[in-house]
Structures are given as C-alpha cells and as structure tokens.
Chains A and B, each alone.
Chain A
Amino acid sequence: MSGWLEQTQPLQGLAGGLLIGLAAAVILLGSGRIAGVSGIAARAVRLNPGGMPRGEALAFLVGLPLGAAIVSALAHQPRAEFASPALLIAAGLAVGIGTRLGSGCTSGHGVCGVSRLSGRSLVATAVFMMSGIATVALTNALGAGS
C-alpha cells in the first residue's frame, strides 16, 4: 500500500455513483423533489417543516440501510472502522446543525444541486469540501484522527 492508485476503486465508485444518481432521479422525476438525505432525515423526525410527506421520508430512510445490506450480502466487504464514540458525537452534532443551517449535505447540494448548476449548491459543496479537507489535515497532524 504505497500509492493512492492501489486503494482507489474507480469502477466501483463510478457504478455506485450511477446508482446514487438514479436514486436521486427517481425522487426528482417521480416525486418532484430533491433527494437530500439531511432534509429527508429531519423531515422524518418532524424537525423540518418543509419537504416531502413524512411517510415518504420514512420510506426513503428504510430503503437506505436495505440497499446497503443487499450490496453487503452480495459483495464481501471488509468491516469498516469507526472513530471513537466521543469523536462520533462531536461530528454528529456538527453534521446535524451544519446541514440544517446550510440547507443540505453531500446529496442535496453535492449531487442534486451541483448537477442543476445551482449557485448556492456549488458554493456549499466547495465550502464543505475545503472544510473537510482542512479538518482531516488538522486531525492527522494532531494524531487524533480515526
């Protein structure tokens, strides 16, 4: 494991991305809405006054782990490692507040908004990418990364 080419999975990544795009297209062309996971999650727990009907939000959220479980059953994947619970709680708080304040996350801004060439989404995506890169660089330098 020396260079980045060895760990990169361009084909699986591209195939996964096509499925995600298809998923977002079903919501856009079928339900007429943006498939933004943070907004849908907030909607499901009554923390988002707008968005799709609550039943539809819950159905989407049931699908997410279902789809991941199907892939996991078909393709053997190594068990992922997660950060410490304390770090996960801090990260979760930042993600929860940040996605609601910024009106979206990787799916709503990064996929749906960028492909629509929305100015707000292009700016938000650039900002959260830069912020994420800075955070990883900083935690790696401090040796506190997961």
Chain B
Amino acid sequence: MSAARLIPPLISGSLFGAGLGLGGMTDPARVRGFLDLFGRWDPTLAFVMAGAVLVMAIAWAIQRRMERPALAESFALPDARHIDAPLIGGAALFGIGWGLAGLCPGPALASLALAPLEVLPFLAAMLAGMAIHHRVTSPPRIPALQGQ
C-alpha cells in the first residue's frame, strides 16, 4: 500500500475528531443529556447529527455520479437490505452501553487525547466485546486454510 492512501483516512479521522470535540460529543454528560428525553433534555446532539447528515446527503448525491472513488479502484459499500434480529438486537445492546456511559466508539477514541485514563476501561471493554463477537461468529479455523 502506498503511503498516499493513508492521507484521506488520516484527514478524515482528524476532521471527525475535531467535529466531535467542537460539537461537545467528547463530553459524556452532553450525550447523556441528549438521551435524557424525560429529564433535562439537551438537544445539541441532534444539531450535530443534522449537520453531519446534511453534508453526507450531498456526498451521496455526488457518489451516485462517480464511477469510482477518487483514490481507490472501486466503491465497497454495504448492500444488505434485510432487517433481522442481529441488527435490532445489536442496536438495542449498543444503545444500552451508549446510555450507560454517554460514550460511543468515535467519542471514546477521540477522548484518548483528552482523558486517556478515564476512557481506557471503556475502550478495553469495547475491544473485548468485539473480540467476543468475532470469536462467536467466525467459522472455526481449519488448519489447512490458515496462513492465507
């Protein structure tokens, strides 16, 4: 892989982290405030979502007119359409964790620059959760197929 291909994700990650910080999303209290619909509601997160969705709606309109992405051979986009139990159950479980801590993956990772020690238990557990899911869902390893 050429180093030039690392530039878009590095720029994107930085813009993403800056947007989360500017929008107050690295503050768990603000995120929980948005979810506190029946208490002292703080709709700031809705403005963050609206801004992001607005820009991305334009990006999707541009994407439909492009034959290939600017810096890769082809688009690799999800095409699943079925609404199934893993989607609903996974989203429900994610929402529980999101509400408990006021953290989702983006803000938690961005917070490594702001409050690394505080966010570490969350990130370690998040990766452990991902590993548990990976272990349960991956097909068993067949020795002959290893090392591909």
Contacts and interface: CB of A to CB of B under 8 A. Distances in A.
Given A22-B55, A98-B91, A132-B98, A65 B86 contact: no
B26 A68 contact: yes
A80 B113 CA distance: 12
Given A16-B25, A28-B59, A98-B95, A87 B101 contact: yes
Given A65-B111, A68-B18, A90 B125 contact: yes
A91 B56 contact: no
A18 B37 contact: no
B72 A23 contact: no
Given A7-B42, A61-B13, A67-B15, A80 B91 contact: no
Contacts of B59: 21, 24-25, 28-29, 115
Contacts of B144: none
Contacts of B13: 23, 59-64, 66-67
Given A47-B134, A62-B13, A96-B125, A56 B19 contact: no
A86 B41 CA distance: 26
Contacts of A129: 35, 95
23 contacts: A16-B20, A17-B50, A21-B19, A21-B56, A27-B8, A32-B72, A37-B106, A61-B109, A63-B16, A72-B21, A77-B26, A80-B111, A92-B129, A95-B108, A97-B133, A100-B90, A100-B137, A103-B80, A103-B86, A106-B105, A120-B81, A133-B38, A135-B98
Given A22-B15, A26-B11, 18 more contacts: A7-B44, A8-B47, A17-B51, A19-B19, A21-B54, A37-B105, A56-B6, A63-B15, A64-B109, A70-B17, A79-B114, A81-B29, A89-B121, A103-B80, A103-B86, A107-B105, A115-B57, A146-B28
